[in-house]
Amino acid sequence: MRLDRAELRLVSLPLLKPFRTSFGVMNGKTFVLLRLFGEGLEGVSEGVMDVRPDYREETISGALALLQESILPSVLGQDFVNPEQLMRHLSGIRGNRMALASLEMAFWDLWAKNLGLPLSTVLGGVRNEVAVGVSLGIQPSIEATVDSAVRHAEQGYKRIKLKIQPGWDVKMVRAVKAALGDLPVTVDANAAYSLGQINTLRELDTLGLDYIEQPLAWDDMRDHAKLQALMQTPLCLDECITSAQDTRKALEMAACRLINIKVGRVGGHLEARRIHDVAAAFSAPVWCGGMLESGIGRAHNIHLATLENFTKPGDTSSSSRYWARDIVHEPLETSGGMMPVPGGAGIGVTLDLPFLDTLTQMKVDVKPQRTSAAPAAP
C-alpha cells in the first residue's frame, strides 16, 4: 500500500462528568487523532499520550512533533506490503511507543479496509462480541461509589474496577464487595503505593478481589515480584508493560499473574498481539485496558479484544458513559455486559467530521517530502 498523506489533529472532547484517579482529575479528553490516506482509503487512529507525563513518559506535544517532523515524513510516499514491513522501517526509533502506535494502528485500519476485512479478522480474532466491565473513578463518598457500582452491575457489566489511592481503599472496597456479592471486583492503584504500605495491601488481599492492578511504581517489576510473593490475590501489571519482552520478564520473575494490554501503550497491534501470545504461553490471561478513548480508540480496542487469550472483561464499556456525543457515527454500546464488534471493513466506525471540526484545536496536513533535484552537471 502506498501512503499518500496524513492529517494530524489535536482534539478536545468533554467528559460527561469528571473522572478521578490517584494522579488527578480529568474533565475532558485531549488526544491526537491521525488520519492516514492511501489507495483511495482512509485509516484512523487515536493517540493515548497525555498532556503531562503522568501515566507514562510520553506527552502530546512530544508525540505531535515526532509524528509531524520525523515518523510520518519517513513513510509517506512509500509502499508497504503489511504492518510488519511498516514497523521494520521504523525500527530505529527507540521508545515513543504511543507515537508509533498512532501510525501503526491507522495503518492496520487502512490495510484491513484495503483487504475488505474487519480488523478483528485480520488480527486473528475468534469472537464477534467481547465481555466488558466498567472502571469507576474515585467518587465523592463510599455511598456514591457503592451506588455507582450497583447501578453498573444491574446493567450487566461483567466486572467492576475501582480506582484506589492511599486513604481511599480498604473501607471503600469492602463496602462495594458487600453490595455486589459474587460479581468480580478489581482495584487499580495507578502506581500509588509502595512496599512501605504493605499492611494496607495485605488488607486488600483479604477482600476476595479478582486482581489488584499496578499497585507499585510504574517502572518497577522487581518490587511487584516481592509483593506478589506475599499476596494470594493476583497482581496485574499495566504501566510496567510496554513490550512482549517486558511481559516475559514479568511472568518469569512472578511479578504478576495477568496483563492489562493497552494497544496504544505498547506500540500498536503487532506488539499487543505478541504480548497476548507470550502471556498465553505462560497460561496468564490478558484483558484490554482503556485510556478514556473516543470511538476511534475504543473500536481499535474492541477488535483487539477478540483474540483468544483475552479472557478477562476489558474496559471498553459504552461510549455513552463518557460522552454526550462521540466523534463517530456508529454507537458503541454494550448489552448485558457484552460489546459487539463493529461490522464492516477496518475498525468499522466512521468519523463524524462536522462534529469533529468543532472539537479540533489544531490540524496539520502532512505530505511526502519532496526529493531535491540532482544538481546540473557543470
Is 226 annotated as catalytic? no
Residue 355 three-state SS: helix
Element (H, E) at 212: strand 212-213
Is 163 annotated as catalytic? yes
Backbone angles phi, psi at 330, to 5 degrees: -80, 130
User: Of 29, 158, 161, 262, which is the active-site residue?
Assistant: 262
User: Of 163, 177, 249, 363, which is the active-site residue?
Assistant: 163
Contact (Cβ atoms closer than 8 angstroms) between residue 323 and residue 19:
no
Question: Which cell numbers in the block locate residue 355?
Answer: 462534529
Q: What's the angle, vertex CA 304, arms to CA 298 and CA 308, rounded to 5?
A: 140
Angle between helices 269-281 and 244-252 (to 10 degrees): 20
Helix and strand counts by DSSP (H, E) for the chain: 13, 13
CA distances from 5 to 347, 366, 375 (A): 20, 6, 27
Closest residue by Cα to residue 250 from 267, 236, 231: 236
Backbone angles phi, psi at 116, to 5 degrees: 75, 30
Which residues are known catalytic residues?
163, 262
